[in-house]
Amino acid sequence: MLIWSAFYLFITLFFMLVFLALSQQVIHVTRQNLVDHHQLRLAWLELPAVIISLVVMLVLRGISLYPNNLNLWLLMNLQLLVMMYSVTLFKSNLSYGLLAIGAFLSFGTLNLMGVVLMALIFLVCLGVLFLPDMIPVPDNHLREFQIIMIILIGVSFWLSVKRLSPTISWWQTLTMMVSFIVVAIADLVYYLATRQEHSNSLMIAQHTRYDSLTSLKNWSAFREEFDDAFAAASTSSLVVATLDIDAFKDINDHYGHLVGNRALIAVANTLSTTLKPYHFDQHLYRTGGEEFSIIFPRTSINIAEHICEDCQESIRNLELHEEAGTLRLTAAIGLTCKWGQDHDATITFQRAGHYASRANPGELTED
C-alpha cells in the first residue's frame, strides 16, 4: 500500500513539474511574439497557456472515464491541481471564464458530487483571487498566501469527496490529499529558495523597461501602461500619439547607423524637453526602431494636437552636424483618442500607427 502511495505521489509531482514548466515556456514565447507584433491585450498573452490548461484538464477527464477507481481519484487530483495553479498563473477575465468552462466539463459532469465539488472549488478560488485585496497581504508574501489557500482547497476537496462518494476509501483519500499537499509544499520550498533570484529578476525586468539607446521607456513599459490607462479612461479622455522619424532608413543608408543612433538620441532628448513643461515627459516611449509614442491620459485631443505640433516644431529645429553635412529631421505623427467601439487598447494604438504611416512627412494626421 505504501509503495502504491509513493508511486502516485511521484506521478503527481512529475506531472505538475512538466505542466508548470510547459505553461511558463508558452507564456514566455507568446509574450515575445506579442511584443514583436505590438499587441497589447493581456488575454492574448495568456490564451495559449489557458488552452493548454483546458486541454490537459479535458484529456485527464477523458482518461478517467475508464473504470478504475484509484485512477479516477488520481486523475481528479491532477485536474484539481491544474485548475488551482492556472487560477494563480492567469489574470484576465477571459482566462477565468475559460477556466470556469473547463472546471464545469471536468467536475460538473460527475453528477451531483461533481456539481458540489465544482461549487466548492470556485468558492475557495474566489478566496485565492480576492482575499489578498480585502486583507493587506504584502506582495513578498502573496505566493505563500496563495499556496496556503491551495492547500486548504485540496484538504476541503478530498474530505468532501470522501463524504459524498462511498467508493473511495480512507487510504485513497489520504493518498490523494498528501500528494496534493506535497506538491503545494514543494512549490513553496522552491519559491522560497529562489526568492532572491526572483527579486533580482524583478530588478532586471525594471531595467528592461527602458530603451538602452535613448533611456526612454520601451515597448514593454508602453504596453503595460497604455493598457492600464485604457482600462481606466472613459471614451475620448485618453489620447495616444505615434511619431515616426521621416526617411529614417535613408539616413541609416546614407550616413550610417552611428549617425542614425545619434539622430534617435537627439529626437528622444528633444521630445522629452518639449513635453516636460506639459508634464507628459514621463509618458514618452520608444516603441520601435524610429517610432516613438506618447500617452495623453485625461487629455482632450485638441490639447494633445497642440502639444504634438510643438514636438514637430522642435524636431524641425534640430540640426545634427555630421562630416557629410548638416542633417535636418522631420517627423510624421498619428493622433487618436479612445473611441466608444474600441474594445481593447490595441485597436486604439494601431489606429494611431495607421495615421502616422498615412501622414505626409512632417505632418500630423488625427481623427
Q: Which residues pair with 295 in a beta bridge?
A: 240
For the ranges 102-106, 114-118, 258-262, 319-323, the lowest mean pLDDT is seen at 114-118
131 — pLDDT class (breaks 50, 70, 90): low
Would you state the pLDDT for residue 350? 92
153 — pLDDT class (breaks 50, 70, 90): confident
Greater confidence (133 vs 168) lies with: 168
Q: Do 176 and 239 fall into the same domain?
A: no
Q: Stretch 170-182: mean pLDDT, rounded?
A: 90
Q: What percent of the chain has pLDDT over 70?
A: 81
User: Do the bridges between strand 331-337 and strand 364-366 make them parallel or antiparallel, or are there none, so unpaired?
Assistant: parallel
Angle between helices 42-63 and 93-103 (to 10 degrees): 10
Confirm whether 59 is domain-assigned. Answer: yes
Element (H, E) at 336: strand 331-337
From CA 231, how far away is CA 297, in angstroms rounded? 11
Would you state the pLDDT for residue 43? 65
Confirm whether 78 is domain-assigned. Answer: yes
Task: Report residue 163 as a C-alpha cell.
Answer: 463524504
CA contacts within 13 A on the Cβ side of 142: 13
Could you read off the pLDDT of 235-268 as tens digits, one per residue? 668 999 999 999 999 998 888 889 999 999 999 9
Greater confidence (7 vs 192) lies with: 7
Average pLDDT, the chain: 82
Would you state the pLDDT for residue 106? 75
Greater confidence (84 vs 34) lies with: 84
Would you state the pLDDT for residue 31? 67
- Kindly report the three-state secondary structure assignment for every residue of 174-204: HHHHHHHHHHHHHHHHHHHHCHHHHHHHHHH
Would you state the pLDDT for residue 216? 94
Q: Stretch 15-30: mean pLDDT, rounded?
A: 82
- Is residue 197 pLDDT above 90, yes or no? no
Confirm whether 211 is domain-assigned. Answer: no
Q: Stretch 210-226: mean pLDDT, rounded?
A: 91
- Is residue 137 pLDDT above 80, yes or no? no
pTM of the full structure? 0.56
Q: Do 184 and 284 fall into the same domain?
A: no
Torsion of CA 58, 59, 60, 64, to 10 degrees: 100
Could you read off the pLDDT of 295-325 as tens digits, one per residue? 999 898 999 999 999 999 999 999 888 887 7
From CA 117, how far away is CA 110, in angstroms rounded? 9
- Is residue 32 pLDDT above 70, yes or no? no
Confirm whether 210 is domain-assigned. Answer: no
Q: Stretch 94-114: mean pLDDT, rounded?
A: 72
- Is residue 202 pLDDT above 60, yes or no? no
Q: Do 48 and 18 fall into the same domain?
A: yes
Would you state the pLDDT for residue 40? 57
Would you state the pLDDT for residue 321? 87
Q: How many folded domains does the chain comprise?
A: 2
From CA 88, how far away is CA 81, in angstroms rounded? 11
Considering 176, 205, 234, which residue would you say is the last residue of a domain? 205
Confirm whether 245 is domain-assigned. Answer: yes
Q: Decide: helix, strand or coil at residue 224.
A: helix
C-alpha distances out from residue 79 to 99, 100, 139, 158, 203, Å: 11, 13, 28, 13, 35
Considering 205, 229, 249, which residue would you say is the last residue of a domain? 205
Q: Do 58 and 90 fall into the same domain?
A: yes
Could you read off the pLDDT of 50-79 as tens digits, one per residue? 899 999 988 888 887 776 655 778 888 898
From CA 61, how far away is CA 65, in angstroms rounded? 7
Q: What percent of the chain has pLDDT over 90?
A: 33
Would you state the pLDDT for residue 234? 74
Structural domain of residue 42, as residue ranges? 2-205
Considering 143, 178, 205, which residue would you say is the last residue of a domain? 205
